[in-house]
Amino acid sequence: MSTLNVAGRDIPLDKDGYLVDLQDWSRTTAEALAASEDLQLSDEHWEILEALRAFYDEFQLSPANRPLIKYVALKLGTDKGNSLHLNRLFKGTPAKLAAKLAGLPKPTNCL
């Protein structure tokens, strides 16, 4: 198990780099996770992460790509809820990387 140091505190991560305890998530933690992925979070990223956290609150699971795209399209419009936009923001792995940055479990049907 590895850890991520955020503001002087070591936060445990699982073998894939996801938070062990979802309660450890914060915007600062998300920024540190993004930095470890060589990514700087913009407002565009944040609105997707917030939508993803709302999805998790509603369904208690992290969506795979297709449900993620549909949910974002429903909540934020089709200009943001499409695979091209999400792939651009999250390096071609939107469901996995966005879930990680949102402090959620790895989607179960993603390799």
Give me the average pLDDT of each 10-residue run along the chain (111 residues): 90 95 96 96 97 96 94 96 95 93 87 49
Residue 108, pLDDT score: 80
Has residue 107 been placed in a domain?
no
Residue 42, pLDDT score: 97
- Alpha carbons 22 and 53: distance in angstroms, whole number: 11
Has residue 58 been placed in a domain?
yes
31 and 73 share one domain:
no
48 and 98 share one domain:
yes
Q: Pick the closest to residue 105 from 67, 52, 32 (CA basis).
A: 52
Output the CA torsion sign for 46, 109, 57, 31: negative
Residue 92, pLDDT score: 85
12 and 57 share one domain:
no
Q: Is 78 a catalytic residue?
A: no
30 and 60 share one domain:
no
Yes or no: say if 99 and 109 are a contact pair by the CB < 8 Å rule.
no
**CATH code for position 7:** 3.30.1420
- Check 25, 39, 110, 111 and give the catalytic one: 110
Enclosing domain of residue 6? 2-37
